Amino acid sequence: MEASEIHEILRAEFDHAIGEELGSEQWPVVSVEGARIAEVSTFLRDREDLRFDCLSNLTGVDLADDNQIQVHYNVFSYQHRHQLTLCAGTVRLDPFLPTTCGVWPAANWLERECFDLLGVRFVGHPDLRRILMPEDWVGHPLRKDFVEPDEYHGISTRRESLLKL
């Protein structure tokens, strides 16, 4: 299905929760109101002529200048061979979004990664733990204001440049 058609269908169903159509014809991007991302996802998956049954990727971006964290959902339909990127924003101070684990099971680990690296809380996630960093790590490394700690369990994270020696 064409990108503009998908956008029209979403606009008709969710009205103002759907933002402007971004991206290109080949790589369509639709911004979605963060609080309604789970509803929109369920709709995209279940509607007969859309059938976005595969969440290929989920990433986050820290837009510190806009005081926002954006989470991007790349979804794909095996049946109709079309794809879409959903873009949901949330406030940077206390970022949270509804989980999409119930829609796409693949979201489980991807949301854990997003939580680990950016600190986005996915409300309703069955097992929201860190997945890459150690359990006792402090902070979220992909935040723009993240400061690397000087040491971790007595292991210094600093090393003199070998070129200076």
Partner 1 sequence: MSLINTLPESVVTTKVDDLLNWTRKSSVWYMLFGLACCGIEMMQTGGPRSDLDRFGMVPRATPRVSDLMIVSGTLTLKMALRTKLLYEQMPDPKYAVSMGSCANCGGLFQLAYSVCDGVDKVIPIDVYVPGCPPRPEALTEGLLKLQDKIQQERWLVKKPDAAEAVA
159 binds partner 1 (CB under 8 A): yes
For position 155 contacting partner 1 by CB under 8 A, the verdict is yes
Q: Cβ of residue 155: shortest distance to partner 1, in angstroms?
A: 5
Nearer to partner 1, 29 or 117 (CB): 117
The answer to whether 125 touches 111, Cβ cutoff 8 Å, is yes
Measured CA to CA, the distance from residue 18 to residue 148 in angstroms comes to 37
Q: Shortest Cβ distance from residue 41 to partner 1 (Å)?
A: 30
- Out of 148, 150, 164, 165, name the contact with partner 1 by CB under 8 A: 148
The single-letter code of the amino acid at 157 is: T
Give the interface with partner 1 as residue ranges (CB under 8 A): 132-134, 141, 146, 148, 152-153, 155-157, 159, 162
